[in-house]
Structures are given as structure tokens and as C-alpha cells.
């Protein structure tokens, strides 16, 4: 870890296959930061997130994420890096044949939790944080879209991540529910977990002003303003 930085990229080039998507990227995200990530479709937002969670390699430059050096990241290290990251997608990706509790148990078993009492306590803890403790035994189809996204955020919190990466987390939600989800993510960042939210929703950015990073014309622009 470099100082307070959870993410630090210096002069990084990012390729998808042989196509240069983003060049000379310089980026820092510190503990507890709440950051909007904006840019048109195809501008490199998802590629940038993939570099941070170890799904794309750095072609040039240096990068650190949660104490791991990304340019030297071995395949065997990726699961350990991802335990320090919470990832929230637009389409929930919940297991539809399992209850809320079983969805969370599945992730915990996959990331090395073994003690039953600790697992049960942690599940109640994260559901409490997202306001869904009473939904423990519900199936995903019994929940609203907003509740499903809260389960996804609870899932992202299970391993006490240093940062949550949320890729269009409000894309399938109505405006009121979107605001509730962003408020929840803001609260999480105030607790010390950095949060990066990729979005196209400029209304929500204006409603919750914060630091903005923009992908545009193959570059990453830090601390931009929007009209």
C-alpha cells in the first residue's frame, strides 16, 4: 500500500486484445473516496475497472490495487486481490435458485470462510448494513430490483473490502430506488471503504456531487467538472 492510496496507476496503457483502449493513465483513489466514473459506451470505463480487479493486464506503466502490484500480478494472486475488492454489477448476478442467505454463503465458502457461526454472523451483519436483515430467507424473485441490488452490495461487503467497484449499479432501477442505492454506497464510503461508481446517469451525479473521473478519447481525466 502506498500511503493512503487504495488504487494508484502511473503511466498505464490498457489494451483489449491488441487494441489500445486507454493510454498513459494516471489515477489515484484513496481510502474512503467516493468517485464517479463517466464516459461514453466504449470509452474504456469497464476496461479500467477490469485492470483494477485483475481481469486485464497492464501493458505498460505501473499500478497498485489494494497492496498488489498489478504489473506483476500472477494468476494465483487474482483471487486474493478480489477478496479485497467488492464488485457490483448492473444485472445483479444473484443465483436465482438460492435464498439471500444461500447466495451470501456461496460467496463466503468460495473465498475461504469455513466456521459456520462466523459465516452466519457476518451475513446478518452485512444484511443489517444494507437494511435487509428481514429478507434472509427470501428468494431473489421475491425481492424488488432495489432489494436485489442491496443484496449484491451486501455480497460485495462480505470480505471487508478496501474498495467497491460498481459498474452501472443503478442501470436497471427507477430514479427513487437509484438514489437509495447511491445513498447506501455513499454511507459505505464514509465508513472508510473507497467506492467507484461507473454510470451514465448525469442526474444522479448532480444529485450527489462528488469527485469525477472521465474516460474520453483514450485518456483518463481526473477531477473533471460537468455542466
Q: Is 3.40.50.300 the CATH classification of the domain at 31-55+79-222?
A: yes
Please calculate the CA angle 118-181-51 and round it to the nearest 5 degrees. 75
How does pLDDT run across 151-187, given as a tens digit for each residue?
999 999 999 999 999 999 998 889 999 999 999 999 9
Q: Is the pLDDT of residue 2 over 50?
A: no
- CA distances 198 to 116, 131, 202, Å, are 35, 23, 11
Q: Is the pLDDT of residue 140 over 60?
A: yes
Residue 17 pLDDT grade (very low, low, confident, very high; cuts 50, 70, 90): confident
Q: Is the pLDDT of residue 211 over 60?
A: yes
Q: In the predicted model, what is the mean pLDDT of the chain?
A: 92
More confident residue, 119 or 91: 119
Report d(CA 22, CA 107) in Å as an integer.
Answer: 32
Report d(CA 176, CA 142) in Å as an integer.
Answer: 20
Residue 122 pLDDT grade (very low, low, confident, very high; cuts 50, 70, 90): very high
Residue 226 pLDDT grade (very low, low, confident, very high; cuts 50, 70, 90): confident
What's the pLDDT at 110? 87
Whether residue 5 contacts residue 68, with contact meaning beta carbons closer than 8 Å, is answered with no
Residue 89 pLDDT grade (very low, low, confident, very high; cuts 50, 70, 90): confident
Amino acid at each position: 500500500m502506498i500511503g493512503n492510496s487504495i488504487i494508484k496507476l502511473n503511466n498505464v496503457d490498457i489494451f483489449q486484445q491488441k487494441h489500445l483502449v486507454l493510454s498513459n493513465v494516471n489515477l489515484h483513489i484513496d481510502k474512503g473516496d467516493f468517485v464517479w466514473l463517466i464516459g461514453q459506451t466504449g470509452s474504456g470505463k469497464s476496461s479500467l475497472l477490469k485492470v483494477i480487479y485483475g481481469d486485464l493486464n497492464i501493458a505498460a506503466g505501473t499500478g497498485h490495487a489494494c497492496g498488489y502490484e498489478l504489473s506483476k500480478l500472477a494468476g494465483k494472486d487474482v483471487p486474493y486481490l478480489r477478496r479485497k475488492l467488492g464488485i457490483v454489477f448492473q444485472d445483479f448476478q444473484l443465483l436465482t435458485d438460492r435464498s439471500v442467505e444461500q447466495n451470501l454463503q456461496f460467496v463466503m465458502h468460495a473465498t475461504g470462510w469455513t466456521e459456520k457461526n462466523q459465516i452466519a454472523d457476518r451475513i446478518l451483519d452485512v444484511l443489517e448494513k444494507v437494511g435487509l436483515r428481514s429478507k434472509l430467507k427470501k428468494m431473489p424473485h421475491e425481492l424488488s430490483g432495489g432489494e436485489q441490488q442491496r443484496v449484491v452490495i451486501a455480497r460485495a461487503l462480505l470480505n471487508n473490502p478496501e474498495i467497491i467497484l460498481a459498474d452501472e449499479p443503478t442501470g436497471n432501477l427507477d430514479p427513487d430506488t437509484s438514489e437509495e442505492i447511491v445513498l447506501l454506497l455513499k454511507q459505505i464510503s464514509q465508513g472508510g471503504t473507497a467506492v467507484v461508481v461507473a454510470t451514465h446517469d448525469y442526474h444522479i451525479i448532480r444529485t450527489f456531487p462528488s469527485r469525477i473521473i472521465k474516460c474520453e478519447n483514450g485518456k483518463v481525466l481526473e477531477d473533471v467538472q460537468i455542466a
